[in-house]
Amino acid sequence: MSNEPRPPLHLSEALASFDALWSPRIVERVNDYDVRIAKVEGEHIWHAHDDTDEFFLVLDGELHISLREPAGERTVLLPKGAVFTVPRGTEHKPAAPSGAAILMFEPSGTLSVGDRHDEVPGHVDETTGHALGV
């Protein structure tokens, strides 16, 4: 990858370039991390990331993240503009009943299905992120 800076990218244009749900697009790389965007609707699957936290920023809509924690199960509601980090090892299930657009920041190569790599839902066409424009 070149060390030349890329031109600025408008997230609204990037989001308009694809329709696939739960299949992230990589909009930028920062050191060894991907900045990914995704359109989501309905429910994802329960999963955990044993080696990394997972950062979410809601760009549009509302995201629900159900968490299974030692104290029990709870759901965090994230409206547009909200950020939330799921701690490593925490089983979670994102959902967007009315649809949402999200930005995630995570180590390159991180699977969007975490430890459930053998349970990829049929509607998910990529778990580590497509290059934008693919």
- Residue 77 reports pLDDT greater than 90: yes
In a domain, 70, yes or no: yes
Cα separation, 88 vs 48, in Å, equals 7
Chain segment 114-129, per-residue pLDDT in tens: 554 455 555 555 555 6
Residue 123 lies in a domain: no
pLDDT of residue 36: 94
Residue 129 located in a structural domain: no
Asked whether residue 14 is domain-assigned, the answer is: no
**Is residue 66, in this structure, part of any structural domain at all?**
yes
User: How confident is residue 134, by pLDDT bands cut at 50, 70 and 90?
Assistant: very low
Task: Identify whether 131 is part of a domain.
Answer: no
Among candidate residues 39, 52, 132, the one with its CA nearest the CA of residue 94? 39
pTM of the model: 0.83
Q: Taking the CA of residue 111 as centre, how many other CA atoms within 13 Å lie in the half-sphere pointing to its CB?
A: 17
Range of the domain at 79: 21-112
| Domain CATH number, residue 92 | 2.60.120.10
Residue 33, domain member (yes or no): yes
